[in-house]
C-alpha cells in the first residue's frame, strides 16, 4: 500500500546543541494509527511539529519529512513526494494544505480568541472547497462533518461562541474540528484527550477510530496508554529524542496501574472556605451556581465532572480570576493580594512569556511576593524544579524549547515558589507520564505537610483523584447530587 508520510533521519537541536530528536524514521500508510509514547521531555511534541515541517523558535531540523502522493495546491500545479523541511512558511502551508493536519496539546494555540468558532471553521473549509456561494453547501457539509467527528454535533450553539466561552474540554474538541474540517490525509494529534472526562474521552476515541477507518492516518502523541492501546496499529517509544522501542500496543503498553485508594489525613482547621459561589456571563447565563466547599490546612480537594461542568470556572473564581458572587475566605479572611491563592492554568504554555528563560519566570514570584533577592529566588527555583525532574539545563531554556509536560511541572513550581496558602491547579498532570506525575504529587504532598498548603486539584485522572482527601463533583455548574438527592462530597 502506498504510504502517505515518510520520515528519514529526522533530528532536532537547540541553539546550544542539545539533542531533542535524533535519527527518527517513520512510515505511515493510509488509515494507520501510530502512537508515539515516552516520558515528558522525550521529544514527542517536537516530533509532532517536525512532521508538519515546523519547529519551535530556535530549533534546527535535519533529515527528511515527505508527504507522498499528489498534493493539490491553490492555483496551477501538483506535486508528488513533497519535502516539508526547509520550506518558507507560506510555501510550507500550501504544500501541506488538505494533506497534513495538526491538533496541538493546548487548544488555545489554534483557537482565535477574537473570532467566533463557526466562521473560522467555514473559512478553513473554504481552503479546500472554495469560497464562493456555489461552494457554500460543500463548506457547510464539511463543517457539520468535522463537528460531528469531534463530538460537537449535538451542540451547534457552540459554533456561535468565542473560545473563552467554551470549557477546556469543549475547546479541545473545537480545535479537533478545526483540524478535521479540511479533510487531511494525515493528522498529528498531541495529547488529544488532555482535560477530557472519561465519557468524552471514550467518545473521542470512537470518533478518531472512525476517522482512521475512513482512510486518514493518525499520529497520536500521548501519555494516555488506554487511548493508545485502543487506537494504535503501531507504537513507537521515544527516549531522549531517539526511538527506544517499536511494536504493537500489546507488546509495548503495560496495563495502567490502578490507584491504591484515597489517602486519608486527620482533619484539620479549615483554611479555604467557599460559600454561595456563583458565576454568570455578561449576558446573564449562569456558569456556576451556589457552590459551597471547604478545604482544611494541608488538605487536597479534587474537583471532578464532565467537560463543561464548571470546574475551570470554579477554580478561576476561587483564585479571583473570574467575577463572582458569594464568598471566598482563606484563614477566615476575604482573599486579598496575589499571594494567598495561586492558580496553575490548564493551558500552561500560554502562561509563560516566550522570550524569557523558564528559570527566571519560575523564580519571579519568590522575588515579587516574598521579596527574596534574585540569587536566592533562582536557587530556590532550581531546587523545586530539580525535585520535579527538571535539571538546570532544561530550566535555562525558553518555554518554546520545553515539552508540555515540562511546562506543567514548571507552572506548579512557579506557583509553589510564591508560598501560597491555597493552590488551585487545573489539570496539572494531564501531560505527565506516571513517573513525573508521581514527582509532582509528591512535591504537592511535601508542601501540604511542611507548609500546610491547601490544594484544589481539578482533574479527570483517576490516579490523581485517588490521592485526594475529598472529591467534589460538579455537573451543569452545580455540585452534583447523588441519586438520593444529596451532594457528592466524598471523604
What domain range is 156 assigned to? Answer: 5-252
Q: Are residues 276 and 246 in the same domain?
A: no
Residue 94 lies in a domain: yes
Q: What is the pTM (predicted TM-score) of this model?
A: 0.62
Query: Average pLDDT for residues 249-275, to the nearest whole number?
Result: 63
Residue 261 lies in a domain: no
Question: Is the domain of 211 the same as that of 354?
Answer: no
pLDDT band of 462, cuts 50, 70, 90: confident
How many Cβ atoms sit within 10 Å of the Cβ of residue 392? Answer: 10
Query: At which of 222, 252, 282 does a domain end?
Result: 252
Q: Does residue 2 have a pLDDT over 70?
A: no
pLDDT at 463: 83
* Residue range 48-58, pLDDT digits in tens: 999 999 998 88
CATH code (residue 60): 3.40.50.300
* Mean pLDDT of the residues in the chain: 86
Q: Are residues 116 and 233 in the same domain?
A: yes
Domain identity same for 248 and 304: no
Model confidence at 104, pLDDT cuts 50, 70, 90, reads confident
Residue 200's pLDDT band (cuts 50, 70, 90): confident
Task: Report whether pLDDT(129) > 80.
Answer: yes
Range with lowest mean pLDDT among 213-217, 243-247, 333-337: 333-337
d(CA 113, CA 117): 9
Mean per-residue pLDDT, 438-443? 94
Do the domain assignments include residue 257?
no
Whether 290 and 200 map to the same domain: the answer is no
Most confidently predicted of 208-217, 327-336, 370-379: 370-379
pLDDT at site 485? 40
Residues 168 and 90 in one domain: yes
Q: Label residue 80 by pLDDT band (50, 70, 90).
A: low
Mean pLDDT across the stretch 85-101?
Answer: 89
Residues 198 and 297 in one domain: no
Note the pLDDT of residue 20. Answer: 92
Q: Evaluate the CA torsion angle 388, 391, 394, 395 in order and state its sign.
A: positive
User: Same domain for 57 and 182?
Assistant: yes
- From 223, 252, 281, give the residue that closes a domain: 252
Q: What pLDDT sits at residue 261?
A: 36
Residue 458 is assigned to a structural domain of this protein? yes
Q: Are residues 283 and 237 in the same domain?
A: no
Both 142 and 233 in one domain: the answer is yes
Q: Which of 252, 286, 313 is the last residue of a domain?
A: 252
Residue range 19-31, pLDDT digits in tens: 999 999 999 999 9
Q: What is the band of 282 on the pLDDT scale with cuts at 50, 70, 90? A: confident
Per-residue model confidence (pLDDT) at position 5:
93
- Number of domains into which the chain is organized: 2
Q: Which residues contact 375 (CB under 8 A, 6 or more apart)?
A: none
**18 and 137 housed in the same domain:** yes
pLDDT score at 152: 84
Q: How many CA atoms lie within 13 A of 264 on its CB side?
A: 3
Task: Kindly state whether residues 229 and 280 are assigned to the same domain.
Answer: no
Query: Mind spelling out the 3-state secondary structure of the chain?
Result: CCCCEEEEEEEEECCCCCEEEEEEEEEECCCCEEEEECCCCCCHHHHHHHCCCCCCCCCEEEEEEEECCCEECCCCCEECCEECCCCCHHHHHHHHCCCEEEECCCHHHCCCCCCCHHHHHHHHHHHHHCCCHHHHHHHHHHHHHHHHHCCCCCCHHHHHCCHHHCCHHHHHHHHHHHHHCCCCCEEEEECCCCCCCHHHHHHHHHHHHHHHHCCCEEEEECCCHHHHHHHCCEEEEEECCEEEEEECHHHHCCCCCCCCCCCCCCCCCEEEEEEEEEEECCCCCEEEEEEEEEEECCCEEEEECCCCCCHHHHHHHHCCCCCCEEEEEECCEECCCCCCEEEECCCHHHHCCCCCCHHHHHHHHHHHHHCCCHHHHHHHHHHHHHHCCCCHHHHCCCHHHCCHHHHHHHHHHHHHHCCCCEEEEECCCCCCCHHHHHHHHHHHHHHHHHHCCEEEEECCCHHHHCCCCEEEEEECCEECECCCCCECEEC
Cell 520550506 belongs to residue: 87
User: Would the pLDDT of 81 be above 90?
Assistant: no
pLDDT over threshold 90, residue 211:
no
Phi, psi of 394 (to 5 degrees): -65, -45
pLDDT tens digits for range 176-198: 889 889 889 999 998 887 766 77
Contacts of 346 (CB under 8 A, 6+ apart): 168, 195, 312, 426, 427, 430, 458
Whether the pLDDT of residue 478 is over 80: the answer is: yes
Residue 195 and residue 170 in contact, taking contact as beta carbons nearer than 8 Å:
no
Mean pLDDT of 215-241: 91
Q: What does the pLDDT look like over 61-70, one tens digit per residue? A: 999 999 986 4
Q: Is 411 within the bounds of a domain?
A: yes
357: exposed, middle or buried (C-beta count within 10 Å: 0-12, 13-18, 19+)? middle
Task: Answer for the pair 431, 464: CB distance below 8 angstroms, yes or no.
Answer: no
Residue 198 lies in a domain: yes
User: Would residue 39 count as lying in a domain?
Assistant: yes
Say what the pLDDT of residue 274 is.
95
Question: What is the arithmetic mean of pLDDT over 150-171?
Answer: 83
Residue 256: pLDDT over 50: no
As to burial, measured by CB atoms within 10 angstroms (0-12 exposed, 13-18 middle, 19+ buried), residue 442 is exposed
Q: Let me know if residue 262 belongs to a domain.
A: no
In the predicted model, is pLDDT for residue 316 greater than 50? yes
Q: What is the pLDDT of residue 394?
A: 94
Question: What's the pLDDT band for 444 if we cut at 50, 70, 90?
Answer: very high
Amino acid at each position: 500500500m502506498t504510504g502517505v508520510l515518510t520520515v528519514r533521519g529526522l533530528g532536532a537541536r537547540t541553539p546550544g546543541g542539545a539533542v531533542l530528536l535524533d535519527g527518527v524514521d517513520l512510515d505511515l500508510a493510509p488509515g494507520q494509527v501510530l502512537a508515539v509514547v515516552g516520558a515528558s521531555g522525550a521529544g514527542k511534541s517536537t516530533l509532532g511539529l517536525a512532521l508538519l515541517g515546523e519547529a519551535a523558535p530556535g530549533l534546527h531540523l535535519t533529515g527528511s519529512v515527505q508527504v507522498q502522493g499528489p498534493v493539490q495546491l491553490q492555483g496551477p500545479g501538483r506535486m508528488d513526494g513533497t519535502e516539508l523541511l526547509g520550506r518558507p512558511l507560506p510555501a510550507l502551508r500550501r504544500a501541506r494544505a488538505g494533506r497534513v493536519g495538526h491538533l496541538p496539546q493546548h487548544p488555545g494555540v489554534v483557537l482565535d480568541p477574537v473570532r467566533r468558532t463557526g466562521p473560522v471553521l467555514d473559512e478553513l473549509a473554504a481552503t479546500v472547497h472554495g469560497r464562493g456561494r456555489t461552494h457554500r453547501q460543500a463548506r457547510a457539509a464539511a463543517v457539520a462533518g468535522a463537528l460531528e467527528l469531534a463530538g460537537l454535533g449535538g451542540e451547534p450553539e457552540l459554533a456561535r461562541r468565542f473560545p473563552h466561552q467554551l470549557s477546556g474540554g469543549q475547546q479541545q474538541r473545537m480545535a479537533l474540528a478545526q483540524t478535521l474540517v479540511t479533510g487531511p490525509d494525515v493528522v498529528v494529534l498531541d495529547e488529544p484527550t488532555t482535560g477530557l472526562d472519561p465519557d468524552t474521552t471514550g467518545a473521542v476515541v470512537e470518533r478518531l477510530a472512525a476517522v482512521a477507518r475512513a482512510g486518514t492516518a493518525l499520529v497520536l502523541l500521548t501519555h494516555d496508554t488506554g487511548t493508545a492501546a485502543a487506537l494504535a496499529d503501531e507504537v513507537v517509544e521515544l527516549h531522549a529524542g531517539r526511538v527506544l522501542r517499536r511494536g504493537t500496543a500489546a507488546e509495548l503498553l503495560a496495563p495502567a496501574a490502578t490507584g491504591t485508594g484515597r489517602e486519608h489525613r486527620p482533619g484539620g482547621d479549615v483554611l479555604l472556605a467557599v460559600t454561595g459561589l456563583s458565576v454568570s456571563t455578561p449576558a446573564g447565563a449562569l456558569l456556576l451556581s451556589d457552590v459551597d466547599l471547604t478545604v482544611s490546612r494541608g488538605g487536597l480537594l479534587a474537583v471532578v465532572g464532565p467537560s463543561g461542568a464548571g470546574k475551570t470556572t470554579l477554580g478561576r473564581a476561587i483564585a479571583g480570576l473570574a467575577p463572582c458572587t458569594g464568598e471566598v475566605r482563606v484563614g477566615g479572611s476575604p482573599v486579598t493580594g496575589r499571594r494567598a491563592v495561586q492558580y496553575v492554568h490548564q493551558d500552561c504554555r500560554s502562561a509563560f512569556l516566550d522570550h524569557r528563560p523558564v528559570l527566571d519566570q519560575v523564580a519571579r514570584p519568590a522575588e515579587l511576593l516574598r521579596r527574596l533577592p534574585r540569587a536566592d529566588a533562582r536557587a530556590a527555583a532550581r531546587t523545586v524544579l530539580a525535585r520535579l525532574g527538571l535539571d538546570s539545563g532544561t530550566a535555562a531554556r525558553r518555554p518554546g524549547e520545553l515539552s508540555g509536560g515540562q511546562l506543567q511541572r514548571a507552572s506548579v513550581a512557579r506557583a509553589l515558589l510564591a508560598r501560597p496558602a491555597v493552590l488551585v491547579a487545573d489539570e496539572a498532570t494531564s501531560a505527565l507520564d506516571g513517573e513525573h506525575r508521581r514527582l509532582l504529587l509528591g512535591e504537592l504532598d511535601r508542601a501540604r505537610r511542611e507548609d500546610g498548603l491547601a490544594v484544589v486539584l481539578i482533574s479527570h485522572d483517576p490516579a490523581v483523584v485517588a490521592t485526594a482527601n475529598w472529591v467534589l463533583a460538579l455537573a451543569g455548574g452545580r455540585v452534583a447530587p447523588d441519586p438520593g438527592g444529596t451532594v457528592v462530597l466524598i471523604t
